[in-house]
Structure 1
Amino acid sequence: MDIRQLKYFLAVAEEGLVTKAANRLHITQSPLSQQMLLLEKELGVQLLQRTKKHIGLTEAGYVLKRKAEQILDLTQSAMNEVRETANGIRGKLTIGIINSSGRLLLPEVIQCFLQTYPLVSFDLRQGDTSRILELLNSHIIDIGFVRLPVDSSLYDYIATPTESMVMVANSQVITMDNAEELHLIHLKDQPLLIHRRYESIIFDYFHQNGLEPNILCTSDEIVPLLTWSLCGVGVAIVPEFAINLLSNPSLIVKKITEPIVTTSSALIWRKKEILPVTATHFINLLREKDISSCP
């Protein structure tokens, strides 16, 4: 018993005449009748009650009709899903993301992507840049958002908008003027909470001005730095987008303009490897669309 026989059987059961079923299937009557006899022989039961004017179903025939409908529906569904997956319309996209780029990825880019590919689901893995690279190299994720720079001999990438560095501090602990910007040297007496990636930049700036920075804490994660600054432990220096990770009215945020320190993140993927179609669609969207235009 195969799919073709089930289709033939359903046509006969629904039309009630072999001639009508044959016309519907665009075949001649003789091979259709032969297939019905072969099906009954294989199952060892009578499926059809034949008269000159009509063909009905036996009790076994009704059972097969219900099962055949289910099988054919499932077969069609499987075919559709396989084709949609192959075309990147359906499937799961596994993305690695650094915490500080959460605002950049979610919800704007995902929202845009789902407008075109609503059947795609996501698996997000978080960590610092080194962790995302590890997941990417282990083929656990398809694509990843990381901080630049990256090794361009190993990865292709699309850079996202440049971010300024900002100071984040508890307003009840540190008193500052109302200016929206400040020089890093204004923080010379403050305990600093910094991301390890920017440690050398901050040291170099203070040393060039004959000062020694008061580095209270370095971290590979940004959220702890923001949490400590909220508690009044020190002053965090983080990328601008990172402040969305911990929004609180008690926090002061000021852009650092001297020195001008910027950072960029990027969507990266392994070079010279075939990506899942869903990942290719996502990359193309990031290339072609202005993220700020997404709702």
Structure 2
Amino acid sequence: MNLKQLRYFLAVAEEGQMTAAAKRLHVAQPPLSYQIKQLEQELGVTLFNRLPQGVTVTAAGKLLVGYAQQLTQLSATAENKVRALAHGITGTINLGTVSSSAGVIPNPALRKWLQQHADVQLSVTEGNTYELLDDLHKRLLDVAVLRTPFNGQHLVCRYFPSERMAAVLPKQYTQFTHRRQLRLSDLAPLPLIKYRRFNELFHVAFLEAGLTPHYLMTCDDARTAMHWASRQLGVALVPRSLAETYDGGDVLIRSLADHRFETHLALVTTNEALETPLVAGFMAQFEQARPLDNFH
């Protein structure tokens, strides 16, 4: 099993047709089919169900897809990092971002750095904090923007200024028009749309206040919570910077009065990644612009 076979396998799995995959890979179909058969023979499994209209991935093939994606991505990352280490000014930075980071990054510091490094590309991966942490430790990412809380052990972390969580309300809740902050007692009877990242935080807060909240939905993407609130379906509980970024003028944004509802975004990398000139230069630019509090 080699990288060429894995790239061919992924192309067929994603396209669902040998012809389309061959066109995408800029190869003839017979060599592509041969490589897939060789891979199947080597593994001793059938990876695709051959049908008149195309192919479908077997159970064994579905298992291989995840590993193949990681291996091919790691190969590309290794190639980029070796080149970047040699030159220090060119290459690709693999950047992970959480959905709730849109209000903070990209920012002027990042724009300035990219303008000064025209030969550098960003490869952005979106996911939740735990997924991105895993990718950092696997060396699939160089840098990630994560949201607290998370385990920062063995990581280099710089934190953006803290921000308050906010309630994003449909404008039909006119009783809150002239309020600047909302209490838990205000929120409990409302249909709440909760960002899963803060499950434990809200559970403990309502429990300690002796209140039983009404949760309409829990989701993994803070932007989804905002979208549902803007459609007048419920009250989204999200970081304020994200709420303000995606505010279309059709909702009310009110901070939560309880001071425990504060959160931070952090720019995070590993000590190993920081040894490469490209990543070190990227982190140094943010340090000079001081958009974050401090290293930990």
Confirm or deny a common fold (TM above 0.5): yes
Mapped partners of 2:171, 2:205: distance in 1: 25
1:33-88, Cα deviation, whole Å (9 max, x unpaired): xxxxxxxxxxxxxxxxxxxxxxxxxxxxxxxxxxxxxxxxxxxxxxxxx9987343
User: Measured at CA, do residues 281 and 264 of structure 1 come closer, stay the same or move farther in structure 2, by a change above 3 Å?
Assistant: same
Displacement of 1:255 in angstroms is 0.9
User: What residue in structure 1 maps to residue 224 of structure 2?
Assistant: 224
Q: Is the 8 A contact 2:166 2:254 kept in 1?
A: yes
1:188-242, Cα deviation, whole Å (9 max, x unpaired): 2101111122222222222222211112222221111111111122101111111
User: Measured at CA, do residues 183 and 218 of structure 1 come closer, stay the same or move farther in structure 2, by a change above 3 Å?
Assistant: same
* CA root-mean-square deviation: 2.4
1:3-14 to structure 2, matched below 5 A, reads none
Residue 158 (structure 1) aligned with residue 158 (structure 2): yes
Q: Is the 8 A contact 1:192 1:237 kept in 2?
A: yes
User: What residue in structure 2 maps to residue 253 of structure 1?
Assistant: 253
User: What residue in structure 2 maps to residue 270 of structure 1?
Assistant: 270
Mapped partners of 1:272, 1:141: distance in 2: 11
Q: Is the 8 A contact 2:142 2:273 kept in 1?
A: no
Residue 177 (structure 1) aligned with residue 177 (structure 2): yes
User: What residue in structure 1 maps to residue 192 of structure 2?
Assistant: 192
Structure 2: 5+ residue stretches without partners:
1-81
Q: Is the 8 A contact 2:84 2:277 kept in 1?
A: no
1:84-95 to structure 2, matched below 5 A, reads 86-95=86-95
Structure 1: 5+ residue stretches without partners:
1-81
The two structures have a TM-score, normalised by structure 2, of 0.65
Aligned residues: 211
Q: Could you say what secondary structure the match of 2:257 adopts?
A: strand
Larger radius of gyration: 1
User: Measured at CA, do residues 100 and 268 of structure 1 come closer, stay the same or move farther in structure 2, by a change above 3 Å?
Assistant: same
The two structures have a TM-score, normalised by structure 1, of 0.65
Q: Is the 8 A contact 1:159 1:267 kept in 2?
A: yes
User: What residue in structure 2 maps to residue 167 of structure 1?
Assistant: 167
User: What residue in structure 2 maps to residue 124 of structure 1?
Assistant: 124
Q: Is the 8 A contact 2:95 2:144 kept in 1?
A: yes
Q: Is the 8 A contact 2:274 2:280 kept in 1?
A: no
User: Measured at CA, do residues 253 and 161 of structure 1 come closer, stay the same or move farther in structure 2, by a change above 3 Å?
Assistant: same
Q: Could you say what secondary structure the match of 1:258 adopts?
A: coil
Runs (4+) of structure 1 exceeding 6 A deviation are 82-85
Displacement of 1:147 in angstroms is 1.1
**More deviation in 132-141 or 224-233?**
132-141
Q: Could you say what secondary structure the match of 1:253 adopts?
A: strand
Q: Is the 8 A contact 1:166 1:237 kept in 2?
A: yes
Q: Is the 8 A contact 1:156 1:271 kept in 2?
A: yes
User: What residue in structure 1 maps to residue 113 of structure 2?
Assistant: 113
- Work out the percentage of aligned pairs sharing the same amino acid: 23
Mapped partners of 2:89, 2:97: distance in 1: 23
**More deviation in 102-111 or 136-145?**
102-111
